[in-house]
A and B are shown apart, each in its own frame.
Chain A
Amino acid sequence: QITLKESGPTLVKPTQTLTLTCTFSGFSLTTNGVGVGWIRQPPGKALEWLALIYWDDEKRYSPSLKSRLTITKDTSKNQVVLTMTNMDPLDTATYFCAHRHVAYNFFDPWGQGTLVTVSS
């Protein structure tokens, strides 16, 4: 059974850097085809894809946020870390990590999500 869980601060101040950790089980990020993505959802709004890291360490980022995002993996800990710099109140959202479908850039399953509020 694949599970993922996000962890990190619930409140960050504007201009600070956000670091979120996705801890997973039930799969290995060393297996061919495997990936983990980050997606966010502002309150009452649509889902927005942020980043995706593959088993071979290929990384993909949303172009609109690429300058602020870094995604890394630690296969020994079964973790994926997303950092987002220069946080703004508009970045207030629930942040999800999710397992990439084995053959497609779709996501299943997802973590429960973590709400991050950006406020001074």
Chain B
Amino acid sequence: DIQMTQSPSSVSASVGDRVTITCRASQGISTWLAWYQQKPGKAPKLLIYAASSLQSGVPSRFSGSGSGTDFTLTISSLQPEDFATYCCQQGNSFPLTFGPGTTVDIK
């Protein structure tokens, strides 16, 4: 199985801050990576797929980059509605696996 790790596990930030979250795969996955946002009690929402493609309807302040084993999600200017948990998922091979999540909370 491909293990997904994320850092940091949590980050405290203020509105307007630039936030970067890292996801690492235990083996190369090319660009078969997605990022999701999840708010408490809600289902995850797809933000980024194929490492850097913005899902339709997602604000452009979200961006993704990386390939192989190392990936990043960047929120260029944090908005109040962005306080949530973010997780990555590899779609390179079965079993599909998710990262443990990074919580972005208010500083």
Name A residues whose Cβ lies closer than 8 Å to a Cβ of B: 37, 39, 46-49, 52, 60, 62-64, 96, 98, 101, 104-113
Whether B50 pairs with A108 at a CB distance below 8 angstroms is no
For the A-B complex with A49-B95, A63-B95, A106-B49 known, give 20 more contacts whose Cβ atoms are closer than 8 Å.
A39-B98, A46-B100, A47-B44, A47-B89, A60-B94, A101-B49, A104-B32, A104-B49, A104-B50, A105-B91, A105-B94, A105-B96, A106-B46, A106-B89, A107-B34, A107-B89, A109-B43, A109-B46, A110-B43, A112-B42
- Given A60-B94, A104-B34, A106-B34, are A113 and B46 also a contact pair (CB < 8 Å)? no
Query: What is the CA–CA distance of A63 and B50 in the complex, to the nearest angstrom?
Result: 24
User: 29 A-B Cβ contacts within 8 A?
Assistant: A37-B96, A46-B99, A47-B36, A47-B44, A47-B98, A48-B98, A49-B96, A49-B97, A49-B98, A52-B96, A60-B95, A62-B95, A96-B43, A101-B34, A104-B32, A104-B34, A104-B49, A105-B91, A106-B34, A106-B89, A106-B91, A107-B44, A107-B89, A108-B46, A108-B55, A109-B45, A109-B46, A110-B44, A110-B45
Q: Which residues of B contact A113 (CB under 8 A)?
A: 43
Whether B46 pairs with A107 at a CB distance below 8 angstroms is yes
Q: Which residues of A contact B100 (CB under 8 A)?
A: 46
Query: What is the CA–CA distance of A37 and B101 in the complex, to the nearest angstrom?
Result: 20
Residue ID in chain B nearest A52 by CB atoms = B96
Query: What is the CA–CA distance of A47 and B96 in the complex, to the nearest angstrom?
Result: 10
Query: What is the CA–CA distance of A12 and B87 in the complex, to the nearest angstrom?
Result: 29
Q: Which residues of B contact A110 (CB under 8 A)?
A: 43-45
Chain B 47-68 interface mask (CB, 8 Å, partner A; 1/0): 0011000010000000000000
How many residues of chain B are within 8 Å of chain A by beta carbon?
23
Query: What is the CA–CA distance of A49 and B94 in the complex, to the nearest angstrom?
Result: 10
Q: Which residues of B contact A62 (CB under 8 A)?
A: 95
Query: What is the CA–CA distance of A120 and B98 in the complex, to the nearest angstrom?
Result: 30
Q: Which residues of A contact B99 (CB under 8 A)?
A: 46
Query: What is the CA–CA distance of A113 and B96 in the complex, to the nearest angstrom?
Result: 19
